[in-house]
Amino acid sequence: MKKTMDRRQFLKKLSIISLPALFSFGSLGMSLESCGGSSSGVGSTNGDMTSDRILFGLGNDPIKIMYTDPAGQQVYNALKPDILCAWLNGGRNTSTNAIYSTIDYFLQWEQNDYLQSWSDKGIDLMIITWENYNGQNPALGGPTYGDYHISSLFLQDIQTLCNMLKGYKGNVYFALATEQSTYTSCRYNNNTCSSNYENVVNQTTEEYFSKLRANILIAFDIIVASLPNAYYGISFGGWLATYQQGRNFIKYFDNVINKSNFIFFQSMLDKTMQENNGFGNPQQIIVNLNFFKQYNKNVGVSHYMPHNQRADVVTSDMNYMASTSYIQTIKALNLKVFCFMYYGLLKNNPYGDLVATQNFRAKLK
């Protein structure tokens, strides 16, 4: 969910020189394969979707958005999202050293009849999985070192969610192990955190990523067996597609991508494009879509938001992405879903970010 800004800045500097050709609009084809909301029915297991709309998602806490935060309800009513997005996170109990998860949050959906209400309204749901690999979130206890996503607990949680969602009337999306290339950062050398163990599969890190790859494939099997009409895929860090080592990392998961019916990635750059030599979130999204088109899959932005939560960056990004040429480009490159990570950043419309997001969201229809 969060990474150090130093590493992100390093990667941007590493790759910026080679990027302009990758996000040039002029060289793109316009073959539109597309997506439909819940009104058109859930797609088949090959991931085909049937309209040229891009569905808009809003997170990260559907209960607050819909019920307990009046400002969240205002954001929801302003944006009228197609998808509610929520996070299943792995943590570590600092007393017992045991891995645990936030599955209880989702069980509230069923216990309080939220799920039935959303189902009856045809609201789509996205579940994004992540873990507190380096202990950055104290609310999730200590560092997991990547252990949650290679555990049997992760698979049990996926099965629990699938059981809970059987019969759900809207589309269901699973964006699994988001930003997984970072999970090994503190795993080796006596749990000393180092960028040497991130974003690369090598003799040291392959022991982890081979286990992760295998567990994600099992998770897919669980989803297909329980929810055959669900959409599912792995969720990559958006920075990976911007430089060669990152692209090589993605290719290690080709068998996972090939078995999925969706590819997800995030985009959380902190600066406006004007502050970063013309390369911001809008350009990073195009670079990713250009890279992932080789797989001929539906693609989704699983979580967008400046990591530093700068509302002015949101406004700048949204104003740029609302242009007709940009919308045509992302549709041509098969973007089906765009999810805004944290609704709280839009409360009270700082720097006009809610209005700008409203305008972008309207252009997706």
- Res. 30: pLDDT tops 70: no
Q: What is the pLDDT of residue 49?
A: 66
Give the mean pLDDT of 121-126: 97
- Res. 235: pLDDT tops 90: yes
Give the mean pLDDT of 36-45: 32
Q: What is the pLDDT of residue 51?
A: 72
- Res. 4: pLDDT tops 80: no
pLDDT tens digits, 151-185? 999 999 999 999 999 999 999 999 999 999 999 99
pLDDT tens digits, 16-27? 333 433 333 333
Give the mean pLDDT of 29-45: 30
- Res. 365: pLDDT tops 80: yes
Q: What is the pLDDT of residue 38?
A: 30
Query: Sorting pLDDT into bands at 50, 70 and 90, what band is 52?
Result: confident
Give the mean pLDDT of 210-233: 98
Give the mean pLDDT of 33-54: 45
CB atoms within 10 A of CB 263: 28
Give the mean pLDDT of 219-238: 98
pLDDT tens digits, 293-322? 999 999 999 999 999 999 999 999 999 999
More confident residue, 291 or 10: 291
pLDDT tens digits, 266-286? 999 999 999 999 999 999 999
Q: What is the pLDDT of residue 50?
A: 59
pLDDT tens digits, 108-122? 999 999 999 999 999
- Res. 361: pLDDT tops 90: yes
Percentage of the chain with pLDDT > 90? 85
Q: What is the pLDDT of residue 291?
A: 98
pLDDT tens digits, 91-108? 999 999 999 999 999 999
Give the mean pLDDT of 132-158: 98
Q: What is the pLDDT of residue 34?
A: 26
Give the mean pLDDT of 1-11: 38
- Res. 86: pLDDT tops 60: yes
Give the mean pLDDT of 77-103: 98
Distance CA 98, CA 93 (A): 5
- Res. 236: pLDDT tops 90: yes
pLDDT tens digits, 186-196? 999 998 999 99
Q: What is the mean pLDDT of the chain?
A: 89
